Chains A and B, each alone.
Chain A
Amino acid sequence: MFPFSYTKVSSAREAIDAGRRGGRYLAGGTTLVDLMRETVERPDTLVDITALPLNDIKTTSGGGLRIGALVTMAEAAAHRAVRTAFPVISEALELSASAQLRNMATIGGNIMQRTRCSYFRDVTAACNKRDPGSGCAALEGYNRSHAIHGTSDACVCAHPSDVCVAFAALDAYVHLQGPQGERKVAFADFILRPGDTPDREHDLRRGELITAVEIPAHPRPLKSGYLKVRDRQSYEFALTSAAVALHIQGGVIRTAKVAAGGVGTVPWKLPAVERRLTGQRPSSRLWAEAAEESVRGARPLTHNKFKVALLRRTVERQLRIVGGTE
């Protein structure tokens, strides 16, 4: 770990001031401190924001939710409003990490968590994300856990979060506060695809602080859920996952919100699947046909070819589970 200074702030203004001067925000520390130990992250200054009042969950008018950035994963998963309105969020959280980590890690931090690509985390390996221009060791290396969607020649790693997949599916927004004031960014625009600049992961300006995630209101009733496929039963990142939310009325799917995890360089929204579902009557055949859309354009690598079939089946399975037909 490289030496760093630590400061604890008591207001957003103080935080943003420190952030503007290059300080890195510290909440649960479950990603940042780990990566500092590996010397992947070498911040000069840590700005402890845990005293800021960003730890509540509010229902918005119309039935949306606003989840404070410092709400822990465990708190969000257990919250009655979350469980009732958006089970997909609770399920994604509860299938993440371990109980201990969920008690520490925050929603804001979850959005900011960095990839599990082992070449990124090994400072002796080439990685454009960690060390721009050094190359991507994963492209021709061991890339079983890597992405099949949204990759570039510069970076192929998968986004690790589960709950971000649910947020992406639900068209969430990220609320930011910075030196120039507040703004709100659509989730899909906030987490950036690697392109030629995999080191740039978020639409985040210098000093900006995530204050909340907003889930917009969706038509009700909305059935939703999260399916995570992995080698072992717990405590592992997804090989594939699917977040599905469906509003079905009069036997017809009026609204479909679908995203996938473990397969994209960012939480992978599946608009083609959503379009294929909308206006249709639930059926096994529909699930299969819609799931086909999830793998269109997939670019598998040497060790993750299986993810193409697995993603299709994961989406199909989760459509059936949420949509409720055999």
Chain B
Amino acid sequence: MSPQPDIAVGKPQSRVDGRLKVTGRAKFAADHGSDDGVDGIVHAVLVESSIGRGRITGIDTEAARDLPGVLAVYDHTNAPRLPYRENPFPDSIHPEGERLHALQDDRVWFFGQPVAAVVATTLETARHAARLVRVEYDTQEPEFDLSSADTREAETYERGDADAALESADIQLESTFRLARNHHNPMETHSIIARWKGGNLTVWDKTQWVNDSRNELAAVFGISKDAVRCFSPFVGGAFGSGGRTWVHSVIAALAARELDRPVKLVLTRRQQFFTTGFRPAYEYKARLGSDRRGRVTSLIHEIRGESARYEFHTEDAATPARVLYDTPNVRSSYHLVPLDIGGPTWMRGPGWGTGTCVIECMMDELAHRLRIDPVELRLRNVPEDDPETGLPYSTLRLRECLTTGAREFGWHRRNATPRARRDGDWLVGMGMATGIYATERMFAQAHARLNADGSAVIQSATSDIGPGTYTSMSQVGADTLGLDIRAVDFRLGDTNMPPAPVQAVAWTMTSVGAAVKAACDHIRDQAVAMAVGDERSPLHGVPAADVVVRRGRLQVRDNPGRSETYEQLLRRNNRSHLEHVGTFSPPDEPEYSMYNHAAIFAEVGVDAQLNRIRLRRMVGVFDAGKIVNPRLADSQAIGGMIGGLGQALMEHTVTDPRDGRLVNANFADYLIPVNADVPDIRGIYVDSVDTRVGPLGVKGLGEIVIVGVAPAIANAVFNATGRRVHELPITPESLIQ
């Protein structure tokens, strides 16, 4: 096999779909219509419960049904019963328990649960009619107290003797952290168009995983997977909310089947807060023991995370304590606390961001107590091998992240004494934190087709929720085939394409990228073999390993003049195209432990009297393995760090405990950073290629970029003010004396 040089890979290629997006021609789920063969679309609007727990005792839909243009109103009294077959992993990522059902019974699990759906010929009519539906309830007292409610049996972990080690530790720290619920709030709210033809269902859905939409709808409606097709060519952000197929998608498909017409359903911003998941709130009690030199000897973590009552989402909140530092004694318990809330789900850096936030705030406290520089303290605790499994690391670049970040940020200028630096009315502080995220991979396939005209089409049923998958896969395909990137057309978001995993876990570049590479390697090798074996080819008789392909021309590496194009080769051999399905299949039992690491450095200003908190600058250093496209990487890094800024200082979904109402389910009250909040933010990627993870040497970037950001900011707030706030977000009132 001949190695191909990196030409497109590594370049800051702008998005190949950028023009489509900025000219409004990129079609998101709800944009599809007659041009795409879906005619006569009607509109569904959900009616949500206005209580937190109870049963529906009556629904009056008469006024809604009487409105001209209204086609139907569905609720649990008239909606068809759906089979709701099981749909376990690997076909879906449902948590334990049972997913929320669509209009199947009178039970209300949480405020905002869909209890009816109105379908009308226009969106305006449907929205108005939805307001006319009157629902009566038998209301029960809902429960929302994360601190005191009953829990499920804990997931526990123990190594060494954490209690004894803590008891005998020179330094013992203990704190309870309260981390708020966050909502993903992608720009595009969740949307779907559902159409039945015969027994076949086609959906245009906003999803991070078209195969999940297909599999889940097939399971819910009790039909074959082959009878469902899902398209999702463009996604306006998701951050984890599109990792599952939620109840609104089922309602749209249900209505479409009943009416035998295509139904479009677009969630409002408010509804987006109810049924598409969120990062759960945590109450996280942590104890840490250390010796005087700052070697952490014991971690004891007791975690309470909020959960729905009908399904039980767990995530990696307890994992960082086991793997971030070389800590010999660790004990953790992770309790889910079922409450009268909708189901949480993965949100960028799920669990890892939570556990790391707690550890890194305590590490800062430890550094302060011991008067050890926070960077030095981390360096003293970096493991040699994975402290949980004992496996060697595929690559470990944590030290480099820390030292590079300290240098590039100017960490040496930090004054370790809190409140020591002022800028007018503002106290200025610096803080840092480490981040960690598991490097993961998943089975993926891609189909590549090289046409006789020298163009290529590559397809995989993956998504592009923002990382630039269209572009990065085109880069990989172009280099592997030896084509200009403009000759490569990468397509995604259709269940008829070869399967790809959910676009999450930062594994798409590694996994789908490897499948793309495998498909293209095979085709190139096939072409090279064809040429060197073809007497009519100028390459006849050249060892295949000496042939490279550049700009569609096969050539001898050391004698580029001896060459021919793909086009010449294929036409001469009467081949219209070459094609292949490439597969990436990671080993079941890895020989190496694989992690992404990060070091985040932040400078904040805190108004000494008015307690305004503003980020002044931030540097994040990431080990993402090889960077396929530095421009896209910056987009991920800056976006992720802004997400962390929101988590640190603003984002907080507020529940009114009297009835479970989400009080701030809108963009005026649920605060996220605006441009004015975002100063100079820089992403740096340590020089790293990890071919043990996959053939591209990539480790993934999309998740690690948020982990460690919130604690770096919290630690900077401490350095500025001398106040430790064990709560996210950190608000003016949490600092006011």
Contact = CB atoms under 8 A, between A and B. Distances in A.
Interface of A: 1-3, 39, 116, 118-119, 121-125, 137, 140-142, 144-145, 229-237, 239, 305-306, 309-310, 313-314, 316-317
B649 A231 contact: yes
Identify which of A2, A118, A122, A232 gathers the most chain B CB atoms within 10 Å of its CB.
Answer: A232
Interface stretch (B386-394, B398-406, B669-677): B669-677
B188 to A, nearest CB: 19
B236 interface: no
Interface of B: 50, 124, 127-128, 131, 425, 609-612, 614, 649-650, 654, 656, 658, 661, 663-664, 666, 668-669, 671, 673-677, 731-733, 736-737
Nearest to A142: B663
A229 B671 contact: no
B658 A141 contact: yes
B677 A234 contact: yes
A231 B675 contact: no
A155 B253 CA distance: 43
A125 B654 CA distance: 15
A236 to B, nearest CB: 7
Identify which of A3, A235, A316 gathers the most chain B CB atoms within 10 Å of its CB.
Answer: A235
B656 A314 contact: no
Nearest to A37: B127
A1 B663 contact: no
Given A237-B668, A306-B736, A310-B611, A231 B661 contact: no
Contacts of A122: 661
Contacts of B614: 233
Contact of A1 (B128, B649, B671, B676): B128
A232 B677 contact: yes
B663 A310 contact: no
Contact of B610 (A39, A124, A140, A229): A229
B642 to A, nearest CB: 12
Contact of A231 (B609, B658, B671, B737): B671
B674 A317 contact: no
26 contacts: A1-B124, A1-B127, A1-B128, A2-B128, A116-B668, A116-B669, A118-B663, A119-B663, A122-B661, A124-B661, A137-B656, A142-B656, A142-B663, A144-B733, A232-B649, A232-B650, A232-B676, A233-B614, A233-B676, A235-B674, A236-B671, A239-B732, A306-B736, A310-B611, A314-B610, A316-B609
Contacts of A116: 668-669
Given A140-B658, A142-B663, A316-B609, A231 B731 contact: yes
Binding site of A, secondary structure by majority: helix, strand, loop or mixed? loop
A306 B731 CA distance: 11
A2 B124 CA distance: 9
B677 A125 contact: no
Nearest to B613: A231
A310 B610 contact: yes
Contacts of B675: 234
Contacts of A123: 131
Contacts of A141: 656, 658, 663
Nearest to B731: A231
A314 B425 CA distance: 12
A128 to B, nearest CB: 17
A2 B115 CA distance: 21
B245 to A, nearest CB: 27
A2 B612 CA distance: 41
Contacts of A236: 668, 671
A310 B128 CA distance: 42
B656 to A, nearest CB: 5
Contact of B50 (A2, A121, A124, A237): A124
**Which 4 pairs show the lowest CB-CB distances between chains A and B?**
A306-B733, A124-B50, A233-B676, A234-B676
Contacts of A316: 609
A242 to B, nearest CB: 11
A231 B650 contact: yes
Contacts of A309: 736-737
A296 to B, nearest CB: 19
Nearest to A313: B609
B661 A310 contact: no
B649 A313 contact: no
A317 B609 contact: yes
A84 B731 CA distance: 35
Given A234-B674, A306-B732, A317-B610, 6 more contacts: A142-B663, A144-B733, A232-B671, A233-B677, A306-B736, A309-B736
A243 B664 CA distance: 28
A141 B671 CA distance: 19
Contacts of B124: 1
A230 B610 CA distance: 9
B80 to A, nearest CB: 28
Nearest to A97: B668
A124 B270 CA distance: 13
A232 B649 CA distance: 8
Contacts of B128: 1-3
B196 to A, nearest CB: 30
Contact of B674 (A124, A144, A229, A232): A232
Contacts of A235: 674, 676
Contacts of B663: 118-119, 141-142
Given A118-B669, A232-B673, A234-B674, A125 B609 contact: no
Given A142-B654, A142-B663, A313 B610 contact: yes
Given A2-B128, A3-B128, A317-B609, A310 B649 contact: no
Contacts of A145: 669
A145 B650 CA distance: 14
Contacts of B668: 116, 236-237
B376 to A, nearest CB: 34
A142 B610 CA distance: 22
A229 B131 contact: no
Given A39-B131, A313-B609, A125 B649 contact: no
A232 B615 CA distance: 10
B175 to A, nearest CB: 22
A317 B654 contact: no
Contacts of B612: 229-230
A314 B676 CA distance: 21
A144 B736 CA distance: 14
A141 B663 CA distance: 9
A125 B611 contact: no
A142 B669 CA distance: 12
Nearest to B124: A1
Identify which of A3, A123, A305, A309 gathers the most chain B CB atoms within 10 Å of its CB.
Answer: A309
B54 to A, nearest CB: 14
A94 to B, nearest CB: 12
B656 A233 contact: no
A116 B664 CA distance: 11
A125 B658 CA distance: 11
B183 to A, nearest CB: 15
A232 B736 CA distance: 16
Contacts of B654: 142
Contacts of A142: 654, 656, 663-664
Contact of B732 (A39, A118, A124, A229): A229
Identify which of B128, B650, B669 gathers the most chain A CB atoms within 10 Å of its CB.
Answer: B669
